[in-house]
Amino acid sequence: MENVWLHRYSVLLAVCTLLLVVAGGLVTSNDAGLSVPDWPLSYGKLMPVMEGGIFYEHGHRMVATTVGFLTIILAVWLWRVDDRAWMRRLGVAALGAVIAQGLLGGLTVIFMLPKAVSISHACLAQLFFSTTVAIAVFTSASWLRGPRITADGGTPALRALAIAAPLCIFVQLALGASARHRFLGVLPHIVGAAVATGVVLWISVRVLMRHAEHDALRKSALALVSITFLQVFLGIAAYMSRIATIDAPQPMPLMVGFTVAHVATGALTLAASVILAIQVRRNVPLMNVTP
**Mean per-residue pLDDT, 99-124:** 83
**Mean per-residue pLDDT, 130-153:** 93
pLDDT digit string, tens, across residues 200-212:
999 999 999 999 9
pLDDT digit string, tens, across residues 182-199:
888 889 999 999 999 999
Query: 146 by DSSP, 3-state: which?
Result: coil
pLDDT tier at 287, thresholds 50, 70, 90: low
Query: Could you give the C-alpha distances from 124 to 92, 204, 251, in angstroms and in order?
Result: 16, 26, 25
Residue (of 170, 179, 9) closest to 82 by Cα position? 9
Start-to-end Cα distance in the chain: 34
Query: What is residue 157's DSSP assignment?
Result: -
User: Does residue 208 contact residue 257 with C-beta atoms inside 8 Å?
Assistant: no
pLDDT tier at 35, thresholds 50, 70, 90: very low
User: What is the distance between the alpha carbons of residues 70 and 63, in angstroms, rounded to a whole number?
Assistant: 11
Q: How many CA atoms lie within 13 A of 41 on its CB side?
A: 20
Instruction: Look at residue 128 in the predicted model and tell me its pLDDT.
Output: 97
pLDDT tier at 160, thresholds 50, 70, 90: very high
User: Does residue 270 contact residue 277 with C-beta atoms inside 8 Å?
Assistant: no
Instruction: Look at residue 31 in the predicted model and tell me its pLDDT.
Output: 60
Instruction: Look at residue 45 in the predicted model and tell me its pLDDT.
Output: 41
Domain edges within the chain: 1-146, 148-291
Instruction: Look at residue 37 in the predicted model and tell me its pLDDT.
Output: 46
Query: 19 by DSSP, 3-state: which?
Result: helix
Query: 241 by DSSP, 3-state: which?
Result: helix
pLDDT tier at 113, thresholds 50, 70, 90: low
Would you say residue 41 has pLDDT above 50? no
Instruction: Look at residue 291 in the predicted model and tell me its pLDDT.
Output: 41
Handedness of CA 19, 24, 25, 26 (dihedral sign): positive
Handedness of CA 202, 216, 97, 182 (dihedral sign): positive
Would you say residue 69 has pLDDT above 70? yes
User: What average pLDDT does the structure give for the chain?
Assistant: 86
Would you say residue 95 has pLDDT above 90? yes
Q: At what angle do helices 215-244 and 253-283 cross, to 10 degrees?
A: 160
User: Does residue 45 contact residue 55 with C-beta atoms inside 8 Å?
Assistant: no
**Mean per-residue pLDDT, 237-248:** 86
